[in-house]
Amino acid sequence: MMSDPIKHILFVCTGNICRSPFAEGLLRKLAQENGLDNIVADSAGLLALSGNSATGLAQKVAAEYDVDLSQHMAKSAKEDIVNKSDLILVMENSHLKNLLDAFSEAEGKVFLIRRFARFGSKDRGVADPYGLNYDAYRFCFLDIQDSVSGLAEYLGETQAHP
């Protein structure tokens, strides 16, 4: 997929308070559990209000899967974070388009997060649970968990056999 080793991974969604924090927290947890010590997970939003915490329901659902979002602070996708990222995974096709419109230099390293999904379509987006109920957040988390688990497997394979 990519020729250079992947170390810094950025997850991007709209507000950086639900989906991308889920993905960041999950990858951190899986990297630690699987000895992927050189992986750096980060997240940002295209329309983030810097400093916002993850939503209460996002924190609650994540905690049920041993992912702690209590310290999360939203931040915007800016040039420095985009440039230092080796792989950028977005939640929706609109995010992909908007990110590349803003940062054309990211071409070739931005993909839908479901590219790494183990089950179902790799071409669809991950629905935004913001403003919805607990079940919507839980479904979103599990959807992202499928993709991030596939990503962790991929990273484990590529790091074992560079």
Q: Is 146 a catalytic residue?
A: no
Q: Is 19 a catalytic residue?
A: yes
Which candidate in 18, 19, 28, 140 is catalytic?
A: 19
Q: Is 101 a catalytic residue?
A: no
Angle at 39 between CA 36 and CA 43, to 5 degrees: 135
CA distance 64 to 145: 13
CA distance 160 to 60: 34
Which candidate in 86, 115, 128, 138 is catalytic?
A: 128
Which candidate in 13, 18, 140, 146 is catalytic?
A: 13
Nearest CA-CA partner of 24 in 35, 38, 37, 13: 13
Question: Could you list the active site residues?
Answer: 13, 19, 128
